[in-house]
Amino acid sequence: MGEVTDYIGSVDEPARAMLERLRERVTELVPEAEEGASYGMAAHRYRGKPPISVVAAKHGYSVFPFSAEVVAAVVAGLDGYRSTKGGIKFSDARPLPDEAFDGLVRRRRAEIDAAAQR
């Protein structure tokens, strides 16, 4: 097991199911990603950098792609979701659309790949 799996196991339903679904999505989009931590959060790691972390909170979830540019690009296509410079908030009642989550992961992976090629 890894930090992400352990974290998911530590939360109650329905958060556990949501986090597991998103963990599986990351694994599909970035098969080389490993479980780890970044900034004190369970996070996937790719090429030594975190592409994404999803955390459960009292009133929903926050997804952090560790890139303000990635957040800004994806939020521009969303309506009605609260966001910060570093992440996007969502809930069970209003989950983040799959296209938006996938966009966060894909854009962050591209950033990491570009940095590795420099």
Q: Inform me whether the pLDDT recorded for 5 exceeds 90.
A: yes
The pLDDT score that the predictor gives to residue 89 is 97
Question: Cα 39 to chain center, whole Å?
Answer: 13
Cβ atoms within 10 Å of 80's Cβ, excluding its own:
5
The pLDDT score that the predictor gives to residue 70 is 98
User: Which helix (H) or strand (E) covers residue 18, if one does?
Assistant: helix 15-29
Cα–Cα distance for residue pair 70/101, rounded to 1 Å: 11
- Amino acid sitting at position 50: P
Per-residue pLDDT tens over the stretch 61-91: 999 999 999 999 999 999 999 999 999 999 9
Q: Inform me whether the pLDDT recorded for 1 exceeds 90.
A: no
Structural domain containing residue 44: 3-117
Cα–Cα distance for residue pair 117/84, rounded to 1 Å: 29
Q: How many domains does the chain have?
A: 1
Inter-residue contact 70 to 88 (CB < 8 Å):
no
Q: Inform me whether the pLDDT recorded for 11 exceeds 80.
A: yes
Question: Cα 37 to chain center, whole Å?
Answer: 12
Q: 30: domain CATH number? A: 3.90.1150.200
Per-residue pLDDT tens over the stretch 29-58: 999 999 999 999 999 999 999 999 999 998
